[in-house]
Amino acid sequence: MALSEEEARLRRLARMKAWRASHAKEKREYQRAWNAAHRKEKQEYNRRWYASHGPVVGQECNGERARRYHVENKEKKNAASRAHYYANREKMMEQSRQWKLEHPEEWRAMSRDASRLRRARRRAVGWERIKAADIFERDGWRCQICGCETLREWEADNVWSPELDHIIPLARGGPHTRANTQLLCRRCNAHKAAKLPYKHTSWVENVERGRS
């Protein structure tokens, strides 16, 4: 019985697919070897291709396309990730429990960053996503009032614990931004409380007298 052209084509495709599946490893290795041997040629080819296809392609490859896709499909993506979460809820909760157990310090730092952000957003002042650790790094792990070197990790009941301070407190309308945050030791932070604007109060004068 003669096959129709369409049937023959489909069979050919199926055969090729099966072959590819059974030779996937060989093909990958071959490709890798080929790439290694032809690196220069390939770079040159790519360069020419990008040059002749203009800046549009270049821009699109700069993550621009991904960003645009994210903006345009935000709702869809959120819905999909929500659906994925609920479908795999048990597994994901177990994974995150496990992660928290294995990374207690990171988890605490993340929770603190998140709750600061929630507070700032609730108060509807300016905010940006901030990692306390970045601010501490910026301030050189030194308290911006007394100049002492703080611990690298927050410890309850330790006055040298690093704390993220809002220079103008959130309570007074200060924004949750890099510019409005600084590292204070727990001792200075406790004394600063919600004084505004911060100036050389008796506390700072005492500290400075003690240091000299």
Scan residues 172-201 and list those touching Zn ion (CB under 5 A). 185, 188
Q: Nearest distance from residue 117's CB to Zn ion, in Å?
A: 24
What's the CA gap between 141 and 122, in Å, rounded? 29
Peptide bond into 55 cis (omega under 30): no
145 is an interface residue for Zn ion by CB under 5 A: yes
- Segment contacting Zn ion by CB under 5 A, of 14-22, 96-104, 146-154, 196-204: 146-154
- Segment contacting Zn ion by CB under 5 A, of 52-60, 113-121, 138-146, 157-165: 138-146
Specify the 3-state DSSP secondary structure of 149.
strand
From the list 130, 146, 164, 183, which residue makes contact with Zn ion (rule: CB under 5 A)? 146
From the list 120, 132, 143, 183, which residue makes contact with Zn ion (rule: CB under 5 A)? 143
What's the CA gap between 142 and 188, in Å, rounded? 12
Q: Nearest distance from residue 146's CB to Zn ion, in Å?
A: 3
Q: Residue 2 or residue 194: which is nearer to Zn ion going by CB? A: 194
What's the CA gap between 35 and 58, in Å, rounded? 22
Burial of 21 per CB tally in 10 Å (0-12, 13-18, 19+): exposed
Q: Residue 130 or residue 185: which is nearer to Zn ion going by CB? A: 185
Residues ≥6 apart with Cβ < 8 Å to 198:
167, 192
What's the CA gap between 133 and 34, in Å, rounded? 45
Q: Residue 63 or residue 147: which is nearer to Zn ion going by CB? A: 147
Q: Nearest distance from residue 189's CB to Zn ion, in Å?
A: 8
Q: Residue 125 or residue 143: which is nearer to Zn ion going by CB? A: 143
Scan residues 19-58 and list those touching Zn ion (CB under 5 A). none
Tokens 């020419």 identify what position?
48
Q: Residue 41 or residue 149: which is nearer to Zn ion going by CB? A: 149
Residue among 179, 182, 166, 176 nearest 125 (CA): 176
Q: Nearest distance from residue 188's CB to Zn ion, in Å?
A: 3
Q: Which residues bind Zn ion (CB under 5 A)?
A: 143, 145-146, 185, 188
